[in-house]
Amino acid sequence: MVTPEKTQNIILANSLKPLKLSVQNGGSTEYNNSEKWRRWKQKYEIYCEANDLEKLPEKKQIAILLNAIGDEGLEIYDSFNVQRSEETVSSILERFDEKFNACKNTTVERYNFFTRHQRDESMDEYVTCLNNLASTCKFENLKESLVKDMFIIGLKNENIKEKLLQNNEIKDVNEAVAIAKTIELSSTRSKRITQHQESNNQVQTISKQSRQPRQKTPSASRPSRPLSRPRQPSQDRSRAASSSRQASSGTCRRCGQVHRYKCPAQDKICAICQKPNHFAKFCLSRKVSEIYSSSETDPNFSQNSHSQKNFIIEAVINKVECNKNNWTINLKCLNQLLPSRIDTGAEINVISIYTVKKLEKESNIKIPVKE
């Protein structure tokens, strides 16, 4: 019959997994086997404390150890060539320590410790790894201070590392870890507050934009109009001139009226210059507005007989002959050159009736006259 106490011991023994070693493949494999032995020994000691194996006879403790260590561990034990009756649990564990720790090099262990930096792991996991590496480096009294220094140096977060280096009063690694966690938590909270404020600002901006009245586009307010036919250059110039003159004086200089849209003189032909888009009354071509007979040039001139005539000046020759007492130009009219005197202050051009008759006789052309 199996008692409850024996049943409990059997269950706990089955929960301890046997030692599993790696196949020998160089120095890295030896280091891995040494680490595996260290971990298995630690689990075995915990198992012994949990089951009070120290109260059992030595012979039974050895049997439990060799049973739990597995086939690979038992094969290594057989290589020791010792009598089981002459051994103790402590002596057997010491032989395994010598077997697996013979490959350890203090220099290499310290190199592994000083080159270990934080990876994708928490601060607690990083400190645990540093303590495990320091246990095989034989630092003795310097172990705690070196673990603290290596923890600060190997931190992944540069901001936390900088703040820890500024503090010269950190005593041990536990205090360093506590300060580092506080800084990390403060930074996380600050980022959350900043993100919350930015989101609120964006909401306020969108709210202000939604309150502003929307401007109606031409396409939304009324249907699009078909494109008009292209205007002639002369029409564009005339309309631009008409608009500018209306804006300055209010009265159109082409028709003499005040209008808002199309000028009445648009597309009309002038009776004087034969050009479009203005009335003859408002023609801007150079013209003689009044003609008076002069006794100086016409002996048949009568003081009471005079008439007001209009005719077109076709061209003015650019050549100007002048002296101190006389300013004259040759004025071309009906292919005839007429000597004329320049008067910049005159408001009208004056020509004698005698000259007009002479021009009609020589050119056989009737000068257009408007009464």
Rounded distance, CA 279 to CA 283, Å? Answer: 6
Share of the chain above pLDDT 90, in %: 24
Angle at 16 between CA 14 and CA 19, to 5 degrees: 120
Q: Mean per-residue pLDDT for 193-218? A: 69
Q: Which residues contact 241 (CB under 8 A, 6 or more apart)?
A: 254
Q: Using one digit for the tens of pLDDT, what is the confidence trace for 297-350?
A: 444 444 444 444 444 444 444 444 445 456 777 777 777 787 887 766 666 777
Q: Please report the pLDDT score of residue 92 as a whole number.
A: 92
288 vs 40, higher pLDDT: 40
pTM greater than the 0.85 cutoff: no
Q: Mean per-residue pLDDT for 77-93? A: 90
2 vs 341, higher pLDDT: 341
Q: Mean per-residue pLDDT for 19-47? A: 78
DSSP 62-99: HHHHHHHSHHHHHHHHHTT---GGG--HHHHHHHHHHH
Q: Using one digit for the tens of pLDDT, what is the confidence trace for 239-291?
A: 555 555 445 557 888 888 888 788 888 888 988 888 898 888 888 775 444 44
Q: Mean per-residue pLDDT for 196-205? A: 73
Q: Which residues contact 287 (CB under 8 A, 6 or more apart)?
A: 272, 310, 311, 312, 313, 349
Q: Please report the pLDDT score of residue 262 as a whole number.
A: 84
Q: Where are the domains of the chain?
A: 4-155, 287-363
Confidence of residue 202 (pLDDT cuts 50, 70, 90): confident
Rounded distance, CA 143 to CA 136, Å? Answer: 10
Q: Which residues contact 317 (CB under 8 A, 6 or more apart)?
A: 329, 330, 331, 332, 337
